[in-house]
Amino acid sequence: MAVWNPYTAGYFNHPYHHLADCRNTAPVQIGVHKEWLLFSYKDVKEILRSPAFGASRLSEYFTQKEPVILEKGTCPFLAKGTQSWLMYLEGKDHTRIRSLADAAIRQFNFTPAIERAVAVCFEQNKTAQQLDVVDIATQIPMYIVEQLMGTSGMCTYEQVKRFSHLLAVSQDLFVSKTTYRDVNSEFEWAFSFFGKLYKKAGTNANPDLIHFLHNLNAAEGYQLTDDEMISLITVIFMAALETTKDSMSVILHEILKDPALAAYIETATETEINILTEEFLRFASPLQYTVRVAHEDVEFREHRFAKGTRLFLCLASANRDPAVFENPDSIVPDRKYNPHLSFGSGMHSCLGARVARNEIRSWLKPVNKQLLQYKLAAGTTAVWQKTIFMRGLKSLIIERN
């Protein structure tokens, strides 16, 4: 029986052999970190949609742990910063804040923002002799998020990248005190930065998401406090940037490795691009795991989960389950049946799925055209992020042909 252990050699480069071993030999198991994990598509989907399981409470955890994590004299921002993070809310709070975020995201017109992002980012790279694939993957979602939030030109590329990445890392399985302290500092900065923007939001001539959130909150009686709103803004910022960047980095890697895939994209119709986008999302599974907690004692298959048990649902494994996906470890550009779980499912399913799909669809052809001018730089190999929950490249250098 394979016991789940993300520290087995080579896991970060290629987790899928190990995940397949776990799925085949022990699809419901207690892993090396002594918590339950589920690997099969059927089980993961059933739990995502079951009312017997809910979200874990990160903000409450931070309320208890902040005195241990933070150094004396540091202002605590961890619980405050995560209080409106939708993936850690339940019941009325979740419904209220999710409905506000959803309404605001729907009011923002993404189409021109995506078109501008694609044009500007390709112009930026036009003369580059060497590029890091991760920078190409970051540019588009970053440009879109900056337009979405109205923050263009207000902070540097490095600042935004660090902020968003640290927030994402804070949700990983094993997080050190030092990382939590860095996250706390990022939240401190974010409360000051977004706080100022939020104060001015109602009067914004160029309406952005912060403007829509502000006005909907006032007009529709959602009654979020300013602190709850800043926390919500931070989670949308992070969720919109990190997952899309990580998917794009995996997609670029696959295109660079496979000239047949590049040729397919070059001549693909709009419908074919849409189908391929779903396939890339399935294949990349940028958020590899999500967590649910048992609301009550639950009998599941031959197991019993006591109330409060945390379950790690492996979306990455579910998306490669041969019981559902034929030839699961290959990219099948015209895959006919593709009910992947890369955006989750049920109450907490991704609020930005429509936006993410549109970004990838609009970007595939132009980026493919750009990649044709480049090859993998001599002697370089892909360096993967050493994170368990999120999967994407850390660096991959390409150079002009």
Please give the residue ranges that form the binding site for ligand HEM (CB under 6 A): 48, 86-87, 98, 101, 105, 235-236, 239-240, 243-244, 247, 286-287, 290, 342-344, 346, 348-352, 355-356
Dihedral angle at the C-alpha atoms of 174, 178, 182, 187, nearest 10 degrees? Answer: 60
| Closest approach of ligand HEM to the CB of residue 205, in Å | 23
- Residue 22 near residue 1, CB atoms below 8 Å: no
At 22, list the tokens. Answer: 């776990």
Task: Give the nearer residue to ligand HEM in terms of CB position, either 8 or 107.
Answer: 107
| Closest approach of ligand HEM to the CB of residue 354, in Å | 9
| Closest approach of ligand HEM to the CB of residue 259, in Å | 25
Task: Give the nearer residue to ligand HEM in terms of CB position, either 274 or 380.
Answer: 274
| Closest approach of ligand HEM to the CB of residue 127, in Å | 29
| Closest approach of ligand HEM to the CB of residue 68, in Å | 27
- Residue 131 near residue 125, CB atoms below 8 Å: yes
CB burial of residue 259 (10 Å; 0-12, 13-18, 19+): exposed
The Cα-based distances of 196 to 13, 151, 285 in angstroms read 41, 11, 35
Dihedral angle at the C-alpha atoms of 34, 40, 43, 46, nearest 10 degrees? Answer: 130
Alpha-helix residue ranges (DSSP H) falling in 223-312: 226-257, 259-267, 270-284
| Closest approach of ligand HEM to the CB of residue 98, in Å | 5
Task: Give the nearer residue to ligand HEM in terms of CB position, either 42 or 181.
Answer: 42
Beta-strand relationship, 310-314 and 36-38: parallel
DSSP string, 187-229: HHHHHHHHHHHHHHGGG-SS--HHHHHHHHHHHTT----HHHH
CA 209/CA 214 separation, integer angstroms: 8
Q: Which residue is nearest to ligand HEM (CB)?
A: 352
| Closest approach of ligand HEM to the CB of residue 126, in Å | 26
Task: Give the nearer residue to ligand HEM in terms of CB position, either 261 or 316.
Answer: 316
Task: Give the nearer residue to ligand HEM in terms of CB position, either 201 or 360.
Answer: 360
CA 341/CA 289 separation, integer angstroms: 10
| Closest approach of ligand HEM to the CB of residue 350, in Å | 3
Task: Give the nearer residue to ligand HEM in terms of CB position, either 70 or 113.
Answer: 113
| Closest approach of ligand HEM to the CB of residue 1, in Å | 27
CA 399/CA 93 separation, integer angstroms: 49
Task: Give the nearer residue to ligand HEM in terms of CB position, either 228 or 374.
Answer: 228
At 157, list the tokens. Answer: 């590329």
| Closest approach of ligand HEM to the CB of residue 284, in Å | 8
- Residue 359 near residue 348, CB atoms below 8 Å: no
Strand order of the β-sheet with 374-376 is 130-132, 397-400, 374-376
- Cβ neighbors of 68 (< 8 A, separation 6 or more) are none
First to last CA, the chain: 47
